[in-house]
């Protein structure tokens, strides 16, 4: 891996993490994180879509006229999301019933559109692939971190398996399953991450 490739990767994963640094794509970050299994499927969808969209946009970057590039990018994203949607439904219909609408909403996930516009539209396919992958994984990292707190605290389970504490003394925090719990968790995570990396004002 060349130095440049490593830089792209590190930026997407930590330095410019799409969720807590750029504050993009948090809608789905909150909705699917009450169960780790849902989260993993959602992350798969985002990594898949982000990577392939970046490659496609990069390959077509000289052929798409400037005026219609937004709509062209949306159509590329929508095609990949449709594939992911079908795939998840085939793999696990139960999970699809719950996260289905949110999988569809990957189309309007600003991370993917943002990276396509900001990076892939100006760079060759290989770095674009890495950039998409890194941003998708950076997003997954935050989602999994939130889910790792919400599921054990809310249900007393992890990936559906009951944790020992649940039998002994733990009372489930229902609030962690409800929307407010998700907002608080993301707020705390943003706070920690920004304090550690030096608070730079980057509100969207």
Tell me whether residue 114 or residue 125 sits nearer to another protein (CB atom). Answer: 114
CB neighbours of residue 179 within 10 Å: 11
At residue 145, φ and ψ (nearest 5 deg) are -60, -45
In whole angstroms, the minimum distance from the beta carbon of 62 to another protein comes to 23
In whole angstroms, the minimum distance from the beta carbon of 169 to another protein comes to 22
Tell me whether residue 5 or residue 110 sits nearer to another protein (CB atom). Answer: 110
Tell me whether residue 81 or residue 120 sits nearer to another protein (CB atom). Answer: 81
Query: Are the CB atoms for 142 and 29 separated by under 8 Å?
Result: yes
Number of helices and strands in the chain (H, E) = 10, 2
The contacts of residue 171 (CB under 8 Å, 6+ apart) are none
Tell me whether residue 85 or residue 131 sits nearer to another protein (CB atom). Answer: 85
Q: What's the rounded Cα separation, in Å, for the pair 16 and 19?
A: 9
Q: What's the rounded Cα separation, in Å, for the pair 126 and 164?
A: 46
In whole angstroms, the minimum distance from the beta carbon of 182 to another protein comes to 7
In whole angstroms, the minimum distance from the beta carbon of 86 to another protein comes to 7
Tell me whether residue 100 or residue 156 sits nearer to another protein (CB atom). Answer: 100
Q: What's the rounded Cα separation, in Å, for the pair 157 and 163?
A: 5
In whole angstroms, the minimum distance from the beta carbon of 196 to another protein comes to 8
In whole angstroms, the minimum distance from the beta carbon of 148 to another protein comes to 18
Q: What's the rounded Cα separation, in Å, for the pair 33 and 26?
A: 11
Structure tokens at 167: 């039998």
CB neighbours of residue 86 within 10 Å: 12
Provide the binding-site residues for another protein, judged by CB under 8 A.
Answer: 23-28, 30-31, 34, 70-71, 74-75, 78-79, 81-82, 85-86, 100-101, 104-105, 107-110, 113, 174-175, 177-184, 186-187, 190-196, 199, 201-204
């Amino acid at each position: 891996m060349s130095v440049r490739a490593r830089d792209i990767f590190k930026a997407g994963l930590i330095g410019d993490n799409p969720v807590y640094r750029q504050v993009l794509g948090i809608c789905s970050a909150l909705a699917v994180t009450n169960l780790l299994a849902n989260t993993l499927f959602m992350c798969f969808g985002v990594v898949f879509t982000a990577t392939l969209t970046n490659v496609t946009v990069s390959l077509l970057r000289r052929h798409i006229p400037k005026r219609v590039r937004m709509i062209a990018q949306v159509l590329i994203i929508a095609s990949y999301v449709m594939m992911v949607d079908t795939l998840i439904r085939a793999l696990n219909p139960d999970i699809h019933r719950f996260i289905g609408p949110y999988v569809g909403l990957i189309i309007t996930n600003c991370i993917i559109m943002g990276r396509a516009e900001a990076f892939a539209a100006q760079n060759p396919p290989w770095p674009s692939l890495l950039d998409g992958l890194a941003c998708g994984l950076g997003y997954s990292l935050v989602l999994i971190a939130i889910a790792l707190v919400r599921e054990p605290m809310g249900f007393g389970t992890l990936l559906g398996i009951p944790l020992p504490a649940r039998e002994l003394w733990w009372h489930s925090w229902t609030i962690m399953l409800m929307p407010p719990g998700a907002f608080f968790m993301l707020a705390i995570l943003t706070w920690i991450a920004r304090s550690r990396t030096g608070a730079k004002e980057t509100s969207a």
